[in-house]
Structure 1
Amino acid sequence: MNTHSTDSTTGEGTPSTTGTTGDDTPSTTGTDTGTTPSTTGTSTNPSNPTDPSATGRPAVRPRTLPVPDLSLVVLIGATGSGKSTFAHRHFKPTEVVSSDFCRGLVADDENDQSASRDAFDVLHYIVGKRLEAGRLTVVDATNVQSESRRRLVQLAREYDVLPVAIVLDLPEEVCLARNAERPDRADMPRHVVQRHRRELRRSLRGLEREGFRKVHVLHSEEETDRATVERERRYNDLRHLTGPFDIVGDVHGCHGELESLLARLGYEDGTHPEGRTAVFVGDLVDRGPDSPGVLRRVMSMVASGDALCVPGNHENKLGRYLKGSKVQHSHGLAETIEQLEREDETDPAFREQVAEFVAGLVSHYVLDGGDLVVCHAGLPEKYHGRTSGRVRSHALYGDTTGETDEFGLPVRYPWAEEYRGRAAVVYGHTPVPTASWVNNTLCLDTGAVFGGKLTALRWPEREIVDVPAEKVWYEPVKPLASEAPGGREGRPLDLGDVHGRRIVETRHMGRVSVREENAAAALEVMSRFAVDPRLLPYLPPTMAPTATSREDGYLEHPAEAFAQYRADGVTTVVCEEKHMGSRAVALVCRDAGAARERFGTNGPTGALYTRTGRPFLDDVELTETLLGRIRAAVTAAGLWEEWDTDWVLLDAELLPWSLKAGGLLRSQYAAVGAAAGAALPPAIAALEAAAGRGVEVAALAGRQRERAGDTAAFTEAYRRYCWSTEGLDGVRLAPFQVLAVRGRSLAAEPHDVQLGWLDRLVEHDPTGLLRVTRRLVVDTGDEASVRAGVDWWLEMTGSGGEGMVVKPLGALVRDAKDRLVQPGVKVRGREYLRIIYGPEYTRPDNLERLRSRFLGHKRSLALREYALGLEALDRLAGGEPLWRVHEAVFAVLALESEPVDPRL
């Protein structure tokens, strides 16, 4: 075969032929070992040496051309050699960028050679954008001159992908015949084809020196027709592996600590009974007492499929030593060499096994659908899944500023403080005293060999597990210090995180987009009116109403809610009393120290805010008093210990409604009632007087009396939810869900469990602040149970209650098509809806018109905000940085500015 691959990296960490090349591309040894163009006697003879009709040899066997699944494929061949046909046959149309097409874009004529410069500017721009986005790209042009290929190789290097050359070295007569068949090229001069073929032949021997990592050469029509392109998965692309994983930090020869940590993680002789996979971040060797023991354990786990391993800089140096390169025996290598020499006496083959193992390690792995990246020294998002010497170097050593500190060590560039990627990056390399999340990155090197701890991360649980070092095995050059002084919060919030059109990845609904104009509106609220962003980890979603009822006299009725959930496959729902108050979120910390430790605040012990993030009470001391009462109830109920937390986030209603809606009451509701009270009695009196004089006004007088009755019912409706307060006297808080505690999102806990916790909370509140949320469980498939639910609602609303919220008892529920089910629908009472739709909404003609309301957008909005809220809680519980939590929180607020009927 005339196919070959090359390795242009330095000798550092280059795997053996059984593993990968230095930039994590599959080796071709044993798979595609044909001779290179320089040794095949590539000829300028127009006849095809492999054509059976010319040579008498048997037909060419089918060829497989391996191409990395993320690469820049450059087609090379004279005009008429069939490059476009080959590209169309083996690649998607969107993957191919043609110089002819680009020439047509800029000149309306694909054959206008005067437009070539502009056309190739366009081509290079498109290629760069595709490579930046991580998409395989094919360049369809002659590319027979080294100058034309040079820019393409530069683009591949710029975006850290592999350049691959596919050469169509077809005979001159074939090219001429094909051109003659094309009307636009029928007059193509022979010398053009001849020139292309001369330039091509001069290039063949030097393509690998130009930087092409794979070169495939096809010499005949038959060989070209029978060739197939096979896409190779990059060795670092393990997105199909979803774990669960246990990621282990730098071991540095601490064999005893490694065995203790594996045992604590549940491994038995290197295997986990639940099928978990260990992932080692490198630096297995040097400095510690038993590097061979560590290697034996890790190598056996990798060989059995129980572990993955990426190389550290210490493995890289050891590998070069084992290959015979001259390296300094410093930073613990001398100890490892001495230990290996002792092993030679009992196991002579071990050294060779170690060399092969180290040579086969891949610089980094992308795991769990792209949500997790594991490497040794950290990796910016632009390098994830890429393959180049630069990527490997960063994964092994990180990046430095070029300066040295007072200990003579290089100052490392704080890439983690600027990281904003979706994938969590877990790494080691730079010892830190405690593993803590910094902008969705986690350093697991906690200095075990220096007397610290050996640390692991359980993924996806995001649980950190560690064991103490048995002793100080190696004195550190400098004391352990955190690489990123920002702690778990990392960098401050940045306008770039929320400005413009945004797309937020959520676990439960995939991508949720936020329009630019909505983001601008949310930014105004968040920057001017919201509470301290550190104390704003969640915003509740809007709630969709039940489907419109056809029941006589009703716009909303529970029957539709029960029927909808039954259709969604939800058999058991809980009906919760809807308190006529204002939605409130309460963040309560156990004390000021807990608030400072987790949320970075000095002073406040929590927050009480509205569903748009504004502080509920203007008085800071009053807020602290209210939080103190909740805190005392949590303490008395023993829930701090039961939840194993020092903070809790609650979803609740704060009563009375007038506490926050006083301005609305005065300007809108009271004004309507007052105007009607002033106008209608005199009008009715005048009509009655006219009727007494024999004027026929009975119908008009009847309508006015109905209006007066409707207005009185309207006034009575809103007055039920208003009462005066003084300080906290008269204030009530009705919690209905525990959202999150330290390390856990509780939003998916069943509602009966939730309400059980909250009943205990109310029971242990001696101040009367907390109020019980009444509830009723309904079986949606049982007529009697449904009837009981309807009767409960009628009784509650008939005595002045607002209504109820119907929720799946299991909280987080998906339907048969694996779509999120509405977390709750509100069913508001007939009289309460007068406040929303106006005093006369129950008149038959008005009610019929209102039944034409459209709920689709509101329901969609409710589900999107729900998914974003769940995402914020998951990120909060996972200890992710503030900007990551706020990405989802901000999106909820932004969606609130979407145009939706506010009465729904």
Structure 2
Amino acid sequence: MGHQDSALPQRQRQGHRREHQQRRQQKNSRRYYTLIIIAILSIIFLCYTRSSSHQPSPSVSPTSPPVNMASTLTTPTLIFPFPKSHLPKPHGGHSAPLIIIIGDVHGQSTALDALLSATSYSKDRGDVVIFAGDMVNKGPDSPGVVSRAMEMGAWGVRGNNEDRVLSAWARYLSSSPGSKTRAEKEAAEVGVEGKGEIKDTPKEDKSEEGTGETEIDEAKAKAKAEKEKRSKAADLATATSLTAAQISWLANLPVILHLGHISPYYGDVLVAHAGLVPNVPLEEQDAWAVMNMRTLVPYSHSSPNQPLKPLEGRDGRPWSEAWDELQREKRGNKTTIVYGHDAMMGLTIRRYTFGLDSNCARGFSLSALVFEPTSPSTSFSSTPPSADGRALDISEEEKRKAAEYGIVHKVVSVPCGSGDSEKEGKKDKKKDKAKNEEEK
């Protein structure tokens, strides 16, 4: 009996030790699994932050969302390199992909579809579409044009109209809280239908009888202010008609798209909406000038080697003429510029510049430059521009050279005669005819 009594505490002590060991093992196991979970979460966090730090910038692709919308709206990427894999293959034949660069569409979605059909655009073939800016404003369907571009996976550059629309949206976002109703009301007050399309513009009173210089100056200032107000209202109306994804897509467009070396005939090819200043490196080009310039003038007290000053107006020499002359005189690799913007000059084809704005906004035509590979057996290809364009100083010998290198170009145009644009175009033609008859 005494032996059993002495054995009981010993068994109890052994049981306590086992329970203690089990609890310690369980505690260690929980600690072990906790450390494993922490380690896994740490690895996931590090991988996420590393991938985030290598996310593409807003300008990497027109289809990628912007990282910082506020800054992207008003501060575009200046230059972006086009993937070499997208360039046309020399002597690739009719089944090889095309590059189709389209001029100023200005919200004319019907004309855009017609032009794509006329160029034989094929997404299945891998054709690449590039917009030379000013896809939006002035026409009836800016959202439709941007939507079509996004569906195609198109590329493009920011034009002055995209820049104005994005700036208007940035101002709207930073203003006092409100809704789009306020913007629509402001647009309606100046005759805008909510898509950036100006209607029923009041006629300017040009009568100066019985007024002094002060009154005339005040009238001009008032007319200028009214025009600016209407322009800003149209820009904001266009912005509010676009979806968030469409705004993001436009904000991602660079100012200059560097296509690269297409062939020895064309050299380096760049797309810029308005133009480039000769003798200024690409990275030093002024974004505003690239989106708005038309002519060049010397700076005051300039030296012969100083770059020319870009102007939005027409007081100087056309920049494309100066650029073409410089490239012809240049030794080594040449640079070809494809641009839009200058509707008054219209479709203008030079050796090293291709001007594609054929005034679709006023019901004339929409144009595209198509780079296409030749077949291996091709020895010559004549690719004149359409009848409403101007081909300057391009010889038959130069056309033969282009074909020999396996890549040629053609210009395709379609009419934009639809809706209000057709009416505006007819009005302009009637005005020109009346003016010519008066002069006679």
Q: Where on the TM-score scale, by shorter chain, does this alignment land: which range?
A: 0.3 to 0.5
Larger Rg: 1
Taking structure 2 as the reference length, the TM-score comes to 0.47
